[in-house]
Amino acid sequence: MMNRCMFRTASLRSRGASRIPSDIGIRRRVASIAFNWEDPLAAAELYTEEELAVQDTARQFSQERLLPRVLDAYRNENYDRRILEEMGEIGLLGATINGYGCAGASTVASGLIAKEVERIDSGYRSAMSVQSSLVMTGIDKFGSPEQKDIFLPLLAKGKLLGCFGLTEPNHGSDPGSLETVAKEHPLKNGYYSLSGTKTWITNSPIAELMMVWARLEGTGKIRGFLIERSQCPPGALETPAIKNKTALRASITGMIQMDNCPVPGANMLPDAEGLSGPFTCLSSARLGIAFGTMGALEDCIHRARTYALERKQFKGNPLAKYQLVQKKLADAVTVAAYGTLAATQVARLKDAGKAVPEMISMTKRQNCDMALANARVYDIPSVLRRNIDCVEIFGGNATSDEYHIGRHVANLFVTQTYEGQSDIHTLILGRAITGVQAFV
C-alpha cells in the first residue's frame, strides 16, 4: 500500500533531523523505565509500529501546519480549505478505508490522527471527521462501486470537500419528522428532486459534495443522496454560513437549503435505507471524538504544566510546587491516561469486529465530560503570596487567546454536546445496562 509506506517514511523522517521540538514529542520505549507524564500508563505499548508512525505523521503535520493557522482561524471564523488537501496529501483522510488511495490503517491509527489534530483544535478535528468518518465512511459502506470509484479518491486527496446533512432546524432528528423530501424530478428523467433544509452542518458553506439524508416520496424511507454543488442549477442549493459562533470557530458551519434540487438517480446511496446508515457514520465519528478530546486535554495539560514550571513566585519557587496546582495536574493527567486506554480498547475491538455502539457511547460521553471537567487544569494562580491576595493570575493571561486554553475550553463545551449530547449517551447506556428505555 502506498500510504502505508508513506506513513513509515513520514515516521522515519519525523524521528530524524526535521523532528518537532522535543518538548512536544512523546518519549517512547526508552531503555530504562521511567514515568512519562505524557503517556503515564504507557498506552504506546498497545500500538503497533505502524500506528505509532501514523501518530507521528499526524502530530508533525498538526504542529507544523495547523498550529500556526489556528489563532487567526478562530478569531475570524475562517477555515482554510487547503487544510483538507494537505491532510489528503499525507494520507490522513479516510485512513481506515482500504483502496481508493486510502491508507487502510487500523481504527486505532485513525483515532490517533484525531487525537493529534484535536490537540490543536476541536474544530480542525471536526472538519476532518466530517470528511473521513461521515462522508467517506458513508460512501465506502453504503455506496455503489461507481460512487466509490468516482468520489473516494478525490475525497481522500482533499480535492473534493464533503459535508453531511442529517440535522434539520426543528425536530429533524426524529425519523418520524425528518422533513427533507426526495421525489422523482418532474422534469429531468432519472433524477430526484430534493427539497428541505439542514442546519448545523460542518463544512457546508465550502463543501462540493453533500451527503444529504431525505425521505423518499412513495416509500417514506430515509435514503442518502450525494449532491454535487457544481451540478446544481442556480437557486436550487444554498449553503449560508452560521456566523458568530462561541466555539468551534476554526471550523465553518452552515445550512443546506435545497429547493427542488435535482440529483441524478445514480447519486443515491444504494445500500442504506432508514437511519442505520447515517448512524453508522455518526458512530464512527464519535469514536474519533473520544480520541480527539484526549488530545485537546493533553494540550491543556502541556500548556498548564509549562506555565506552572516557568512562572516563578517571589521566593523563586515555581507555581508547580503548590499542592493545589499539582492536584489539578494529577487529576487531568489521570483522566487523559484512562480515556486514552478506553478509546484504544474500543478501537481495537472495532477492528476485531467485536465493538458495539454502546461502547462508543460510553467512551464518547466519558471522554468528553472528563476532558471538559479537567481542562480547568489551567486554572492556576500565577502568584501566591504570603498574607495577601493574589492580583495577577494565569486566568487573566488565559483570557488572551495566545495561551490557547480558553479556546480549548470553549470547544470542549461543544464537543460534549454534539454528536450525541452527554445525557443521550447516558440513556443509551442506561438502556443497555437495564434493558429498560427511559427516553420517554
Active site residues: 419
Q: How far is the CB of 372 from a second copy (least distance, A)?
A: 9
Nearer to a second copy, 150 or 289 (CB): 289
308 counts as binding a second copy under rule CB under 8 A: yes
400 counts as binding a second copy under rule CB under 8 A: yes
Considering only 172, 224, 277, 288, the residue that binds a second copy (CB under 8 A) is 172
Q: How far is CA 83 from the centre of its chain?
A: 14
Considering only 18, 189, 219, 387, the residue that binds a second copy (CB under 8 A) is 387
Contacts of 27 (CB under 8 A, 6+ apart): 36, 38
**Contacting a second copy within 25-84 (CB under 8 A):** 33-35, 37, 40-43, 45-46, 71, 75
22 counts as binding a second copy under rule CB under 8 A: no
CB environment 84-118: b (16+ within 10 A), e (fewer) = beebbebbbbbbbbeebbbbbbbbbbbbbbbbbbb
Nearer to a second copy, 27 or 312 (CB): 312
Contacts of 219 (CB under 8 A, 6+ apart): none
Q: How far is the CB of 53 from a second copy (least distance, A)?
A: 21
312 counts as binding a second copy under rule CB under 8 A: yes
Considering only 113, 365, 371, 374, the residue that binds a second copy (CB under 8 A) is 365
Amino acid sitting at position 229: R
**Contacting a second copy within 224-243 (CB under 8 A):** 242
Considering only 153, 279, 280, 351, the residue that binds a second copy (CB under 8 A) is 279
Nearer to a second copy, 25 or 40 (CB): 40
255 counts as binding a second copy under rule CB under 8 A: no
Alpha carbons 203 and 190: distance in angstroms, whole number? 28
> How many other C-beta atoms lie within 10 A of the C-beta of residue 346?
24
Q: How far is the CB of 299 from a second copy (least distance, A)?
A: 15
Place of cell 483570557: 399
Considering only 237, 362, 371, 412, the residue that binds a second copy (CB under 8 A) is 362
Q: How far is the CB of 107 from a second copy (least distance, A)?
A: 14
247 counts as binding a second copy under rule CB under 8 A: yes
**Contacting a second copy within 92-151 (CB under 8 A):** none
412 counts as binding a second copy under rule CB under 8 A: no
Alpha carbons 121 and 391: distance in angstroms, whole number? 30
Considering only 168, 232, 284, 303, the residue that binds a second copy (CB under 8 A) is 168
Considering only 188, 216, 318, 351, the residue that binds a second copy (CB under 8 A) is 318
Stretch that binds a second copy, among 78-86, 111-119, 184-192, 327-335 (CB under 8 A): 327-335
Considering only 89, 174, 217, 271, the residue that binds a second copy (CB under 8 A) is 174
Considering only 227, 337, 347, 371, the residue that binds a second copy (CB under 8 A) is 337
What is the DSSP track for 27-65? P-S-SS----TTSTT-GGGGS-HHHHHHHHHHHHHIIII
Contacts of 321 (CB under 8 A, 6+ apart): none
CA distances from 309 to 242, 322, 359 (A): 40, 11, 38
Reduce the DSSP state of residue 162 to 3 states and report it: strand
Q: How many residues bind a second copy (CB under 8 A)?
A: 131
φ, ψ of residue 194 in degrees (nearest 5): -105, 135
Q: Are strands 191-202 and 253-264 parallel, antiparallel or unpaired?
A: antiparallel
Residues forming a β-bridge with 241? 254
C-alpha cell of residue 182 = 426526495
Contacts of 311 (CB under 8 A, 6+ apart): 318, 319, 382, 383, 394
